[in-house]
């Protein structure tokens, strides 16, 4: 079941396109065009991932889907692209990356993308998502969002996955050097989740059985969490140093 869909970025895209017509300096134009390109690329990647997620999970009563969740907690922010929650309160925190071409991960866990005929280093999306999960965990505890069993709040199990374009070529190190199993193509997410479920044995993990909740409780909990979403409002004129025009009286 879909609890929250993606926020529209059309207003922000329209504002950036308008700024390009406002006679920016060459450097300002470069910054605005870069921002616009990154935003449109991010939207495209998130839409592609959302399609595969919604295809399998939108009609399921066993899963709650939250797209584009931004949480603020004590001065820190977690921007979660997609969150999947099941009735055992396994939380799949999914980070979309629109890597459409070559992605290389070295044995040290460093990420590189192929750009302008060379590989360029980029921040690790795995570590980025770990920070999101850390903050999400603190947020859930702080706001007592999860249901209780005998006055004790249930503890979720977090799953960290990075979704990349199905067209991407991923070059990975040997697993014993660095585990990249959390970096997957977006169209394989359902298969990956099914594989994890197959590994689970109810007689081994009795604690997980005790956590199972009803579909109604799952939906209510997911809606409570989604209600804390705080969309980011950017002042692009201030960001790029453009003048602010006041309406004439």
Find, among 124, 118, 128, the residue nearest to 105 by Cα: 124
Collapsing DSSP states into helix, strand and coil, what is residue 240? coil
pLDDT of res. 98:
83
For residue 167, give the DSSP letter. T
- Give the Å distances, CA to CA, from 149 to 88, 131, 174, 200: 13, 28, 42, 22
Query: What pLDDT does 248 receive?
Result: 45
User: Going residue by residue through the chain (249 aa), what tens digit of pLDDT does each one get?
Assistant: 999 998 888 888 888 888 888 888 888 888 888 888 888 877 887 888 999 999 999 999 999 999 999 999 999 999 999 999 999 899 999 999 988 778 999 999 999 998 778 888 999 999 999 999 999 999 999 998 988 776 566 789 999 999 999 989 999 999 889 999 999 999 999 999 998 877 765 555 555 666 688 999 999 999 999 999 999 887 888 888 887 665 444
Which of 49, 36, 37 has its CA nearest to residue 80? Answer: 49
- Look at residues 11, 38, 155 and name the one whose alpha carbon lies nearest to residue 89: 155
**Strands 76-86 vs 90-97: parallel, antiparallel or unpaired:** antiparallel
Indicate the SS3 state at residue 183: strand
Gap between the Cα atoms of 62 and 208, Å rounded: 15
Q: How far is 29 from 183, CA to CA, in rounded Å? A: 34
Cα 47 to Cα 167: distance, rounded to the nearest angstrom:
15
pLDDT for the residue numbered 212? 82
pLDDT reported for residue 162: 97
pLDDT at residue 245, rounded to an integer: 61
Following DSSP, what letter does each residue of 56-123 receive, concatenated? HHTT-SSEEEEEEEEEEETTEEEEEEEEEEETT-EEEEEEEE---SEEEE-TT--EEEEETTEEEEE-
Q: Torsion over CA of 168, 174, 177 and 181, rounded to 10 degrees?
A: 50
> What torsion do the CA atoms of 77, 138, 209, 127 make, to the nearest 10 degrees?
50
What integer pLDDT is reported at residue 186 of this predicted model?
A: 94
Minimal CA–CA distance to 122: which of 103, 107, 139, 150? 103
Using an 8 Å Cβ cutoff, are 142 and 73 in contact? yes
SS3 label, residue 168: coil
Among 167, 197, 173, smallest CA distance to 185 is for 167
């Amino acid at each position: 079941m879909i609890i929250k869909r993606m926020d529209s970025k059309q207003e922000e895209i329209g504002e950036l396109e308008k700024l390009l017509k406002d006679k920016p300096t060459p450097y300002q134009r470069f910054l605005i065009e870069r921002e616009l390109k990154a935003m449109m690329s991010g939207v495209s990647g998130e839409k592609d991932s959302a399609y595969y997620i919604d295809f399998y999970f939108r009609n399921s009563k066993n899963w709650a889907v939250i797209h584009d969740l931004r949480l603020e907690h004590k001065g820190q922010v977690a921007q979660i692209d997609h969150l999947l929650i099941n009735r055992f309160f396994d939380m799949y925190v999914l980070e979309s990356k629109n890597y459409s071409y070559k992605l290389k991960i070295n044995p040290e866990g460093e990420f590189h993308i192929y750009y302008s005929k060379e590989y360029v280093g980029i921040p690790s999306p795995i570590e980025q998502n770990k920070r999101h999960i850390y903050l999400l965990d603190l947020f859930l505890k702080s706001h007592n969002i999860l249901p209780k069993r005998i006055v004790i709040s249930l503890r979720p199990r977090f799953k960290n996955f990075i979704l990349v374009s199905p067209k991407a070529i991923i070059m990975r190190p040997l697993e014993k050097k660095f585990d990249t199993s959390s970096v997957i193509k977006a169209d394989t997410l359902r298969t990956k989740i099914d594989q994890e479920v197959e590994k689970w044995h109810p007689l081994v993990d009795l604690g997980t059985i005790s956590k199972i909740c009803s579909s109604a409780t799952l939906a209510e909990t997911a809606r409570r969490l989604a209600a804390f979403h705080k969309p980011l409002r950017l002042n692009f004129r201030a960001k790029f140093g453009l003048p602010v025009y006041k309406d004439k009286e």
